């Protein structure tokens, strides 16, 4: 039990990578707070965690809203008394259409950065005082391959996820004297509901995934939430006590070398 008697908050924990991480942590003895925008999804995952014999709390909170974030942290402390682990997973493109410099609007930019970068900052700011108090903490931030090796222009999202890497490195330096580790995971192509905002499930998306895996992913397959949960467990556990300020690529071998993007140079996107 690598996380026995630990307490974690997983933002965006109702589906995809967040759900995979939350369940993996629970399997290793962790009590988990599952955050989501919709309480129904969070509660469903919390029930799965309870079925594994661990305690869980489902909390509805918009991580770009500081008051809602503080309420989530207060509820966590009230129920569990501490926060050992934070996984900043919540994010996405939230149905925003268009992502290059010609199509991205100021409104879209603010919306995407608020959730994907400001949100991570706000949750860290609310959680870190409790970690400092206990002189212990593990913070794991989820970035994106598009932040460092984009295959299509999603300007606001990729810029936000690049900012997450900067946030990670600065906090790692700042918090090391308090025995708080801060690391980041850069997922490659992971098959999750994230893709639904770019292209609905169906034969066309399946064909796109097949082309991408053949052309861009050395391991030759799409990743799964479980592929992300394993490295997250390492970073959340005592196995990584001498690891901070690191960026781990969990991407099937990307980026091993430069490549021609699956997306056409004309700017075509899935289904475009």
Residue 49 phi/psi, 5-degree rounding, is: -70, -45
Q: Are 31 and 80 in contact (CB under 8 A)?
A: yes
Q: How far apart (Å, rounded) are the C-alpha atoms in residues 117 and 147? A: 12
Strands (E), 51-136: 56-60, 85-88
Options 136, 157, 179, 249, the catalytic residue:
157
The residue among 138, 135, 139, 90 whose CA lies nearest residue 116 is 90
Annotate 116-154 with b (16+ C-beta within 10 A) or e (fewer). Answer: bbbbbbbbbebbbebbeeeebbbbbbbbbbbbbbbbbbb
Determine whether 249 is an active site residue.
no
Pairing of strands 137-142, 7-10: unpaired
Instruction: State the catalytic residues.
Output: 157
């Amino acid at each position: 039990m690598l996380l026995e008697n630990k307490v974690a908050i997983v933002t965006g924990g109702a589906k995809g990578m967040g759900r995979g991480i939350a369940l993996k942590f629970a399997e290793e003895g962790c009590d988990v707070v599952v955050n989501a925008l919709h309480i129904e999804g969070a509660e469903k995952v919390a029930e799965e965690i309870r079925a594994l014999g661990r305690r869980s709390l489902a909390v509805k909170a918009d991580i770009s809203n500081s008051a809602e974030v503080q309420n989530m942290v207060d509820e966590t402390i009230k129920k569990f008394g501490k926060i050992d682990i934070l996984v900043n997973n919540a994010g996405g493109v939230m149905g925003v259409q268009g992502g290059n410099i010609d199509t991205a609007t100021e409104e879209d930019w603010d919306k995407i950065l608020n959730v994907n970068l400001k949100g991570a900052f706000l949750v860290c700011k609310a959680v870190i005082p409790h970690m400092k108090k206990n002189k212990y903490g593990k913070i794991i931030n989820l970035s994106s391959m598009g932040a460092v090796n984009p295959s299509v222009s999603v300007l606001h999202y990729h810029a936000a996820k690049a900012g997450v890497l900067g946030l990670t490195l600065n906090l790692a330096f700042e918090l090391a004297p308090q025995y708080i580790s801060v690391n980041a995971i850069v997922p490659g192509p992971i098959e999750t509901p994230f893709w639904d905002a770019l292209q609905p499930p169906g034969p066309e998306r399946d064909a796109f995934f097949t082309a991408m895996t053949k052309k861009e992913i050395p391991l030759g397959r799409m990743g799964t939430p479980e592929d992300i949960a394993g490295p997250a467990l390492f970073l959340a556990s005592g196995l990584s006590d001498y690891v901070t300020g690191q960026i781990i690529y969990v991407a099937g071998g990307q980026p091993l070398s430069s490549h021609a993007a699956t997306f056409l140079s004309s700017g075509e996107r899935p289904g475009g």
